[in-house]
A and B are shown apart, each in its own frame.
Chain A
Amino acid sequence: MELIEKVVRDFLLGDVPSDQGETFLNDDDNLFEKGLIDSIRLFKLVSFLEERFGIAIPDGDVIADNFQSVNTIKDLLRSKLP
């Protein structure tokens, strides 16, 4: 079973341009400042997480606090997983 953090990190770094952020992402790094989250990528990430983990992420949960870093995403997912 893959670590939640790794799944999230791999998805985020999947198509990142090499000059817009480092290829090494710390779990506490601010995803927005690293250029990994924008309005296009955000909902792709949400759809991916919903599918990959079989959960629902309502719009009210799609806020900056929950998607600030790999760690906050992990916390959000944990709160929804059985």
Chain B
Amino acid sequence: MDYLLQHLLLATADKSPDKIALICRGSTISYGDLDRVTNQLAHCLRAEGVTRGDRIGIYLNKSVESILSILGILKAGGVYVPLDPAAPAKRLAYIIGNCDIRCLISSSKKLPVLKQILCDRSPLQLLILAARETGEVDLLPEVRTIPWRVLGEFPSQSPPPNETIETDLAYILYTSGSTGDPKGVMITHRNALTFINWAYDCLHLEAHDRLSNHAPLHFDLSIFDIFDAIKVGATLCPIPDEISVFPASLAQFIAEQRITVWYSVPSALIYLLLHGNLQRYQFPDLRLILFAGEVFPIKYLRELKTIIPHADFYNLYGPTETNVCTFYRVREIEPDRIEPLSIGKACANTEVFAVNEKDERIQPGEMGELYVRGPSLMKGYWGLPEKTQELLIPNRFQPGFEEQIYRTGDLVSIDEDGYYIFIGRRDNMIKSRGYRIELGEIEAVLYSHSQVKEGAAIAVPDEQIGNRIKAFIVPHARGLLAKSEIIKHCNERLPHYMVPELIEFRDDLPKTSTGKIDRKLLS
């Protein structure tokens, strides 16, 4: 059986039960044990009433338990919803309410924030707590709480009977929404496996590889780290957040753990390059460096290639809605090159094409919007049928292939050899540190402050992180609103990477002839 994500684990556990699957903060677990404990978690979830298709949240920092949770939820027939461990309570409460999460796997360290989340009429009924401490845990009154150790009471040899098929959901990843609330991208087993299988074939992963996992679980880069490691029987080394934060420590981690495959946003590599004292190490084991999520400024990539000349570098492109859909293997970079890299050509089992405003395929030199066709396309946005229909549309461009295609909103051009080049966005979505940010979501939060009369958010280009965010605010009463108040307001509603770094108060904002705020005139 090989049509569900958990089948990857079953196959590897069968073949290499003693191979180390995960190493995190000194804890290790073999594939055999990973298989057994996740069976137990799945049985426990079923015993608590979880049925096929139920959304189950994971609110944990990087740990062996977070990976166990993913697989246990899948084996129970559930849909895992990873929650950003650093997101503010209001945002988490929204997500939990939005896709009706009744069961959450978390840790006693998160209880203070969980109490905040429950203040807001949440559907949460069951909490499974991964906690090493055996002391008293302050329980939440309305929610049934089970400690992790209870899993030991459940059967471990096989998972509960399965009813899930490949077109059923495996997970939901929430991304920035332009009207103010994040939207849940629904991904099926088949969607995920399309990407996982392409990566396995294209990158020639092997059992002796050691993959890091830098990206948080709610970011789809983690799908490669977790599931391609399992598929090939490699060892996964999730990077504890406190190490990611300190670049010198991160460089040490990569060298000491003998990481062979790295995948992250360019910002993380630039952070390492500028502050990680990389010249202390040779990184002889690092053979593959993959990056995705934002443009990698060519000067930093050139420098990194000089420091780690023996590694293969790949630029991967694709929105969360399709996962990676094109890829480009980096060649030598000319010393005087200033243009960013190509995003390459379509991955196996995926088709991409770009059309201009006249619905014609673009020719070399022309610009158009990129569309994607294939089994990696999401099922849609949770609870947003209209938004889904805007972007998952019938294929009017290819008679005979009328099924859905996804419009990316990315503008690209194509060169003589058929390689795509990313130009920019059609709309107000920007990238900062590789994170996807709808300026409209930030603006909605600004407007939600009673003292804000008008607000606008713009991107200020930055060579290290892509963009910084600047907010312009027209307060109702000048002098009554402080910058710190705005920042506090944003911190309570937005993830840290979306909180404006720069704030400017104005008496009014420039308008277009139709009365809309003219962001082009703001800087």
Q: Is the CB of B488 within 8 A of A18?
A: yes
Residues in B neighbouring A62, C-beta threshold 8 A: 246-248, 275
A56-69 interface code vs B (CB 8 A; 1 in, 0 out): 00011011100100
Q: Are A40 and B246 in contact (CB under 8 A)?
A: no
Chain A contacts for B492, CB-based, 8 A: 17-19
Determine if A39 is an interface residue (Cβ-Cβ < 8 Å).
yes
Q: What is the CA–CA distance of A10 and B409 in the complex, to the nearest angstrom?
A: 43
Instruction: Report the minimal beta-carbon distance from B25 to chain A, rounded to whole angstroms.
Output: 12
- Contact check, A37 vs B245: say whether CB atoms are below 8 A apart: yes
A67 CA to B246 CA, complexed, in Å:
9
Is B497 a contact of A20 with CB atoms below 8 Å? no
Decide if B487 is an interface residue (CB 8 Å cutoff). yes
The proximity string for A residues 39-62 relative to B, scoring 1 for CB distances below 8 Å and 0 otherwise, is 111110000000000000001101
Q: How far is the CA of A26 from the CA of B59 in the complex (A)?
A: 26
1/0 per residue, CB under 8 A from A, across B426-450: the answer is: 0000000100000000000000000
Provide the bound-state CA to CA distance between A39 and B154, in Å: 40
- At the interface, yes or no: B243 with Cβ under 8 Å from chain A? yes
- Rounded to whole angstroms, the CA-CA distance of A65 and B112 in the bound complex is 26
Interface centre among B113, B245, B488 (most CB of A within 10 A): B245
Whether the Cβ atoms of A38 and B109 lie closer than 8 Å is no
Q: Are B244 and A39 in contact (CB under 8 A)?
A: yes
Known: A33-B109, A62-B275. A17 touches B249 (CB 8 A): no
CB distance from A75 to the nearest CB of B (A): 16
Indicate if the CB atoms of B491 and A64 lie closer than 8 Å: no
Q: Are A32 and B241 in contact (CB under 8 A)?
A: yes
Interface size on B, residues (CB 8 A): 28
Query: Which residue from A14, A18, A33, A59 sits with its C-beta under 8 Å from B484?
Result: A14
Centre residue among A16, A33, A64 by max chain B CB count within 10 A: A64
CB distance from B249 to the nearest CB of A (A): 5
Q: Which residue of A lies closest to B244 (CB)?
A: A39
Instruction: Give which listed residue, B88, B109, B248, B433, contacts A17 with CB less than 8 A.
Output: B88
- Does the CB pair B275–A20 fall under 8 Å? no
Q: Give complex CA distance A62, B276 in Å.
A: 9
Give the secondary structure class of A's interface.
loop
A19, A33, A41, A62: residue with the most chain B Cβ atoms closer than 10 Å? A19
Interface bits B469-513 vs A (CB < 8 Å: 1, else 0): 000000000000000100110011000110000000000000000
Known: A17-B492, A35-B86, A59-B276. A64 touches B246 (CB 8 A): yes
Contact, CB under 8 Å: B246 / A43: no
Residue of B nearest to A59 (CB): B275
- Asked whether B242 is an interface residue with its Cβ less than 8 Å from the other chain, the reply is yes
A28 proximity list for chain B (CB < 8 A): none
Per-position contact with A for B228-267: 1 when CB-CB < 8 Å, else 0?
0000000000000111111111000000000000000000
Is A2 positioned at the interface, with any CB of B under 8 Å from its CB?
Answer: no
Q: Which of A16, A32, A37, A42 contacts B491 (CB 8 A)?
A: A16
Q: For the complex, is B16 an interface residue (Cβ under 8 Å from A)?
A: no
Contacts of A33 in B (CB 8 A): 109
Option from A14, A15, A16, A19 in Cβ contact (under 8 Å) with B89: A19
B271 at the interface (CB under 8 A from A): yes
| Interface pair A39/B86, CB less than 8 Å apart | no
List B contacts of A42 (CB < 8 A): 245-246
| CB atoms of B488 and A15 under 8 A apart | yes
Residue B277 lies at the interface, judged by CB distance under 8 Å to chain A: yes
Chain B proximity of A27: nearest CB distance (Å): 19
Cβ of A17: which chain B residues have Cβ within 8 Å of it? 88, 488, 491-492
Contact B245 A39 (CB under 8 A): yes
B437 to chain A, nearest CB (A): 14
B interface list, Cβ under 8 A from A: 86, 88-89, 109, 112-113, 116, 241-249, 271, 275-277, 433, 484, 487-488, 491-492, 496-497
Given pairs A16-B491, A64-B243, 8 additional interface contacts (CB within 8 A): A20-B88, A20-B113, A38-B245, A39-B271, A40-B497, A42-B245, A60-B277, A64-B246
Q: Which 3 A-B pairs have the closest CB atoms?
A: A17-B491, A32-B242, A59-B275
